[in-house]
Structure 1
């Protein structure tokens, strides 16, 4: 079995590259909308399809990783991701964007991001340190956002979106080398748990109210993240701050989430995870409300981005930590994939519905209001979650 730190670091690099490129897609909206003569709802629909496909196939991809190992699944995902970016560079209309950035990249993301990599990490890290390890991998997504988003903006400004996609495809292809670090037959701590079939795992989880509450909460996280990542740069540009401030804001979100992911990961090992999640969602709603109340300026936009960045993906180590804590790690990628599917359904509406409402009203006000209400809803539903391990996992 590989060293836990080898698996953790390789998983973090994989997520760094995969999520870093993905978080830059919002920067492409203004240029591609003009070049292809498509509305913001059409571009938003492409990312919404991506998020939805990403989520719908994640449980099945997770089950494959549980059975055959994360390395093979990650390799296939990386190659498909690169192909999708190349196809996006050659697209000539909205349909081409929907098939490339939407369908192909959505399928690819399921194989080389959080759920598959965290399944590999969860099996080599002891339970008392698992949330922190998940936080380190999650932080990788933010390192990528901080490093890749400014680079993507520079490529867009210098070469245009078509060449930018080609260069980013080459970057994604390097994930194949790091897939070896998470490769290997599933085992580790999963081998210490009582045997359980896939059907038994699904029946057990589906019968637990806490599992469905986690799904509902993660839907809200998906809405928040997709709405801000897809539309925040355009929102700031509409308000006269320029697309450059939007790129800086996305980079700041990534920078501050490096710290936030680690802090919330450590907190998950020391405090009750569902209580921390309730506090996190409440803080998001309060932050959005304050942002809308205060006069908009570069300072308030970047301040909002920094604080939202701290809260950005802190949900990931906490939610995956709860799934592993309650149900074990034998089927972690599959069960985590089901919860993540709910996240991506929320992402679909965050990306598409926000753009649709903008096209109807010329404003993002409705989307901001929905974001506040959903955050408060998520905070409330996390409070009654039961975080005790299932009886089969407890000592006799």
Structure 2
């Protein structure tokens, strides 16, 4: 149910399908690629602002109600995009509003529920939960594309609203019982952002996202510049999605058996290797780069949730995960911009590949320097897992 709910929320239905409407909206309302990018980034900022609020609500009042409200708002938002969009301004406002009000349908509630329910196999459970997003990203876009081609872009949004409505089922049925209830807690302790360990983890994920996330939308144009046909480039891009799905399970399993920050550092180095493969090997090594980027993309959401639960416990998981993931989202939203600007300045992706490799190396160092945590001891309700770090929550 957690995987289904994650796959039918805003993180998958919005992120992986919104680009399908750009050609039709360009003809219908004159939407440019730059305006589309700004609208998408505005929605990302809105989600990042709202996520900590949702996280606090989930911690204090349980997971079910905010998820149901968020899924309902996602349905309403897609319906409005299909029926009300008449201009670039209306598109911009509706897209930003969708990110703000439908953020409750993000995986945060399911990640928290899984973290509360599972202990020793928590990494694998979180990986399977996030795999729902990858499966949705593979299956839903072809359906929406067919609807747009056959009935027009407005019906494409209505179809997305239908998928979002299905997301109410796991929210209503799956988020019941202890896993969906607030976790009893004592005094809240110091603000999370005041903790050195929290800022350390946040910095590691932000640098990681700022480095590699921007190459996902630039991957196909990069391969086209290298001489590949559109179909060949698209096939390699699809390989990224396959490795995203596979890595969700593999990284989750590894996190249960190996110190997770070491896994994160290895993933960063793997992605850096993919960048260097493209830089020095070009198109023939595109499959290597696709596999590396897919593993990195699949690892990030799993490891954010896993490390947050291990270092800060379940009592504040909603708030801690929301702040960590919001920072990751903002960095991921800004990443394509700096890569595009560097390409415009230099005329190629070579400089961006070098900078990305360096940033991923920094992220790997940050992860490796994170302290040990208790691997398989479940804390009592309200306790925070202790770590060997001064300034961590009591």
- What TM-score range do you get, normalising by the shorter chain? 0.7 to 0.9
Q: Give 1:282's aligned residue.
A: 269
SS of the equivalent of 1:223 reads helix
Where do residues 335-354 of structure 1 align in structure 2 (5 Å cutoff)? 335-354=320-339
Q: Give 1:143's aligned residue.
A: 135
Q: 5+ unaligned residues in a row in structure 1: which ranges?
A: 1-9
Query: How far apart in 2 are the matches of 1:249 and 1:148?
Result: 19
Match of 2:92 among 75, 98, 111: 98
Match of 1:321 among 306, 316, 338: 306
Q: Give 2:207's aligned residue.
A: 220
SS of the equivalent of 1:269 reads helix
CA shift in 2, pair 1:69/1:228, >3 Å = farther
Return the offset for 1:160.
4.4
Which is further off, 128-137 or 206-215? 206-215
Structure with greater contact order relative to length (CA < 8 Å, sep ≥ 6): 1
Q: Contact 1:142/1:253 (CA < 8 Å) preserved in 2?
A: no
Match of 1:53 among 46, 70, 81: 46
Structure that is richer in helix per residue: 1
Q: Give 1:196's aligned residue.
A: 186
Query: How far apart in 1 are the matches of 2:97 and 2:281?
Result: 40
Q: Give 2:390's aligned residue.
A: none
Query: How far apart in 1 are the matches of 2:230 and 2:308?
Result: 39
Match of 1:17 among 5, 8, 13: 8
Query: How far apart in 1 are the matches of 2:242 and 2:162?
Result: 23
**What TM-score comes out, normalization by structure 2 length?**
0.83
Query: How far apart in 2 are the matches of 1:330 and 1:92?
Result: 45
Q: Give 1:175's aligned residue.
A: 167
Query: How far apart in 1 are the matches of 2:27 and 2:339?
Result: 19
1:43 and 2:36 aligned: yes
Query: How far apart in 2 are the matches of 1:257 and 1:209?
Result: 31
CA shift in 2, pair 1:156/1:291, >3 Å = farther
CA shift in 2, pair 1:63/1:228, >3 Å = same
Q: Give 2:392's aligned residue.
A: none
Deviations 1:18-49 (A, max 9, x none): 34322233444455445543432221111212
Query: How far apart in 2 are the matches of 1:27 and 1:240?
Result: 24
Q: Contact 1:324/1:332 (CA < 8 Å) preserved in 2?
A: yes
Equivalences, count:
377
Deviations 1:100-157 (A, max 9, x none): 23x13322553122322101111111x2221111111111111111212333343444
**What TM-score comes out, normalization by structure 1 length?**
0.82
Q: Contact 1:41/1:356 (CA < 8 Å) preserved in 2?
A: no
Q: Give 1:3's aligned residue.
A: none
Query: How far apart in 1 are the matches of 2:132 and 2:220?
Result: 22
Q: 5+ unaligned residues in a row in structure 2: which ranges?
A: 388-394
Query: How far apart in 2 are the matches of 1:369 and 1:57?
Result: 34
Return the offset for 1:325.
1.1
Output the aligned Cα RMSD.
3.2
Deviations 1:212-242 (A, max 9, x none): 1211122234435652454445555677756
CA shift in 2, pair 1:294/1:66, >3 Å = same
CA shift in 2, pair 1:157/1:249, >3 Å = farther
Query: How far apart in 1 are the matches of 2:17 and 2:224?
Result: 16
Q: Contact 1:264/1:314 (CA < 8 Å) preserved in 2?
A: yes
Query: How far apart in 1 are the matches of 2:144 and 2:223?
Result: 18
Query: How far apart in 2 are the matches of 1:31 and 1:180?
Result: 35
